[in-house]
Structure 1
């Protein structure tokens, strides 16, 4: 790797895109001993300067200038989704590790270009999928890996949140096909990732989407039915129109010997945990539930702990570029089905 690994050393992180999600990154970097913020960048000068002043680091309005002049090991990319590949490729070519917010791209071509650039430069590509690290989700994954469910029959995933029109009006890129996508690509992308991470590869998907109430190009609501390669079925329903506030972000797994529902507003609470056979993990269920202040949960800090461990050569990445591409491919399959009215096989054909 171009930024040398080493146990015990501190790694410096720069951040581009000082908008809504950047707060989670700033707070997490500050809490992880072994990481420090080195620089910030935003095309809006006031936003860049405010973030730089708040954290005592240099502020840039030119990303290229930050890559040239600031001293850092990795860049956290928190810009509009459609810009993630270009920003990641530029960082990789500058010899920097890349930490991309979800989704890593809004096209497979963009995702593949980013993976290739990081491979060519010999740098790590991390894709932020922090919900995988929620304590209840970690317990479910362990139960699957131990075979506690037996054969998995069905997964249902629900994202009933609200995003008012003024949320979309805050930035002109939100809800556009060029830079953002809709409810599946943006708000629910973590849940699409969880479904295929827990249940295994998807064989095909059929979906309907709609723009019912928000003045945006992309969808504010949708539903998808998946068939997994294992033969199991999955159902996912998503809307940003829930009245009057975020209601639920949940996933339910139904298996031969187990039933689990992880609910709350952001898969943060164990609501059902039943298995045919006892396991010591059952004693951890109560303490695994959390009450995060927002739907982003607490996972960013755990994610940055993994970033540090990877850079120090102590662990594999929780979600690398290839894992990030899998969930993007499923989202694009959902969109293709909604557009054509057909069942769409996964993997997609890359044109």
Structure 2
């Protein structure tokens, strides 16, 4: 490996710019190449980011021996197949969310990278937001007591033009589903990161306001492996859009995350003191926490850089990335359990009972 970790990107759509910005911000990394299927967009992206080597065929890019790691920024349904080729080429991969749209593909990815001693990371940059890190530490230290209840919501807005902009958006084959697997996957991951894995899901999903193949609205009732209970709701029909929200109730206190900000933190100290919000009172939500903004926007920009820095360190230190393949699989399993429950009319689904080849509920 050279003095810098040499990255390439596969995919040059909107999210690829967030990857490129993060790599550019790291002194220990450099972006050297990009692959994409759309010629004009590929050339423009390559020029914008300093004259990158551009490849219309990612297989040609993977044959380069001087590339250490690849960021995969393609439609969700392509993640697994491309990642497996990256592993076969002997390169590390940081994959956009979700890990894939099928559990069997996710398992194949995890096995392929681990068997070769390569690093597989999944984008979930909001785990690196300072207030998320703080809340995770408080929960692990038992400050809020035993987990009791959690509720999460992603009430964003997307107009019809958003779904019409690409033929893969809002489809089972390309997107793996709708609002639950696309816009909500970050909150799904954070909820389990903070509360532990979900064991059972009872869900309903529907297409309420858009013309699309998959759902724009979903709700679920949850039971966590710890025994705690929870709810999850999401939609892209909530005009004009609101910050995502996670509310956690413990036996000794409660906390609320709104967007990336910890806005409420109340601890029951049992000493007769009054109710005091111990969250940072003056923390202001940035643009990225508002109106259903894209996950990489606002405060999430710094978190995106932090995740790339963590991934680069994992390569250099030969350790697991903080958000590894198993974490991505766990979020996907939650989503697929919800889809299976909805397809069955809202029946209870045990997440661990999902078959290895479980596909989305077409």
TM-score w.r.t. length of structure 1: 0.92
**Residue of structure 2 equivalent to 1:322:** 326
How many angstroms does 1:286 deviate by? 4.7
SS at 2:171's partner residue?
coil
Judging changes above 3 Å, is the alpha-carbon distance between structure 1 residues 274 and 295 closer, same or farther for their aligned structure 2 residues? farther
Residue 288 and residue 37 in structure 1: after superposition, are their counterparts in 2 closer, same or farther (change >3 A)? Answer: farther
Relative to structure 1, the CA distance from residue 311 to residue 290 in structure 2 (aligned partners, 3 Å threshold; closer, same or farther) is farther
Residue aligning to 2:94: 99
Q: 1:254, 1:284 → 2: CA distance?
A: 15
Instruction: Tell me if structure 2 keeps the 8 A contact 1:268–1:292.
Output: no
Describe the superposition over 1:205-224 as per-residue Cα deviations: whole angstroms up to 9, x where unpaired: 00000011111111000001
SS in 2 for 1:72: coil
CA drift at 1:139: 1.1
Q: How does 1:1-351 map to 2 (within 5 A)?
A: 9-55=3-49, 56-69=51-64, 71-180=66-175, 181-243=177-239, 245-263=240-258, 267-277=259-269, 285-286=280-281, 290-293=285-288, 294-296=293-295, 297-298=300-301, 299-313=303-317, 316-341=320-345, 342-347=347-352, 348-351=354-357
Is the 8 Å Cα contact of residues 16 and 78 (structure 1) preserved in structure 2?
yes
1:32-71 per-residue CA deviation (whole Å, 9 max, x = no partner) reads: 1101001011100111101111112111111111112473
| Residue ranges of structure 1 left out of the alignment (5+ in a row) | none
Matched residues, number = 338
Distance 1:301-1:45 versus aligned 2 partners, 3 A rule: same
Q: CA RMSD in A?
A: 1.8
Deviations 1:171-204 (A, max 9, x none): 1011110110210111100111111111112221
Provide, for residues 300-325 of structure 1, a one-character-per-residue CA deviation record: whole Å limited to 9, x for no partner: 11101101111110764111111110
Does the aligned pair in 2 maintain the 1:38–1:70 contact within 8 Å?
Answer: no
Contact 1:38 1:71 in 2 (8 A): no
Distance 1:283 1:206 in 2: 34
For residues 280-302 of structure 1, the C-alpha deviation after alignment (integer angstroms, 9 at most, x for no partner) is xx988357655144442222111
Q: How big is each residue's C-alpha offset from its partner over 1:10-40, in whole Å with a ceiling of 9 and x where there is no partner?
A: 1011001111211111111111110100101
Equivalent residue number for residue 360 of structure 2: none
* 4+ runs deviating over 6 angstroms: none
Deviations 1:152-176 (A, max 9, x none): 1110101010111111111101111
Q: Distance in 1 between matches of 2:281 and 2:80?
A: 40
Rounded to whole Å, the distance in 2 between the matches of 1:57 and 1:70 is 16
